[in-house]
Amino acid sequence: VQLLESGGGLVQPGGSLRLSCAASGFTFSSYTMSWVRQAPGKGLEWVAHVTPDGRQQWYADSVKGRFTGSRDNSKNTLFLQINNLRAEDTAVYYCARDGIPYNGIYDAFDIWGQGTMVTVSS
Amino acid sequence: EIVLTQSPGTLSLSPGERATLSCRASQSVSSSYLAWYQQKPGQAPRLLIYGASSRATGIPDRFGGSGSGTDFTLTISRLEPEDFAVYYCQRYGSSPPLTFGGGTKVEIK
């Protein structure tokens, strides 16, 4: 069971990025998937999650309207489109899996990727 | 939105000692949907406890969780060298946001 993020990098304020999270070793289409970020030297912040069919997404207030979560179950991949980037979006972005297949309740995160770093700077 | 407050911010202890970490919620956490994670420098978080008191797969029994409602505790019965890390609580369940506490750092005294 593995999650592997990619797509991070250095971007100017106002720019955009698309992060990806490739899943393997489990039935990806059965699990709600989340994005969690961690600014340098700071704590964890839940950012977004996407239900197994991709039809429902929830976002933290701090990113609502700028971040869009989606998934391609045929490719076992989760995405996070980040627009209008700000300095305060600088962080390591982790994808994480709910601990149980979705049953209407969002679970604790039992599998995490290694993270991808996003740096917003001019 | 439920806010989770962790205390203390830093806990300075010696190997072999007992660690008691607190997580207080601003509103009752339904069905004890409260998790604890451990994070070491440069690593992703690791799930320790879910449902307030159930250990995740592979977690040693020196880690224990307790509490309900608004007050939750993570106890490490005897600190091992590998337990010095930052610990986060998280509320999950049916209604996002799935908030994290600010973290408690357990450091070597």
H helix or E strand, kind and range, residue B91:
strand B86-91
Q: Min CA distance, B51 vs chain A (Å)?
A: 8
What is the per-residue pLDDT across A29-76, written as a single tens digit (0 to 9) for each? 999 999 999 999 999 999 999 999 999 999 999 999 999 999 999 999
Closest by CA position to B87, among listed B30, B33, B37, B16: B37
Please say if the pLDDT value at position A78 is more than 90.
yes
pLDDT of residue A115: 98
Q: Which of A94, A105, A116 would best serve as a mutation to test chain B binding (most B beta carbons within 10 A)?
A: A105
What is the per-residue pLDDT across B46-90, written as a single tens digit (0 to 9) for each? 999 999 999 999 999 999 999 999 999 999 999 999 999 999 999
- 3-state SS assignment for residue A82: strand
pLDDT of residue B48: 98
The residues of B whose Cβ lies within 8 A of any Cβ of A are: 1, 33, 35, 37, 39, 44-47, 50-51, 56-57, 88, 90, 92-94, 96-103
Are residues A110 and B103, on separate chains, in Cβ contact within 8 Å?
Answer: no
pLDDT of residue A103: 86
A106 CB neighbours in chain B (<8 A) are 92-94, 96, 98
Residue pair B21/B103 in contact by the 8 Å Cβ criterion: no
- Interchain CB contact of A94 with B (< 8 Å): yes
Please say if the pLDDT value at position A83 is more than 90.
yes
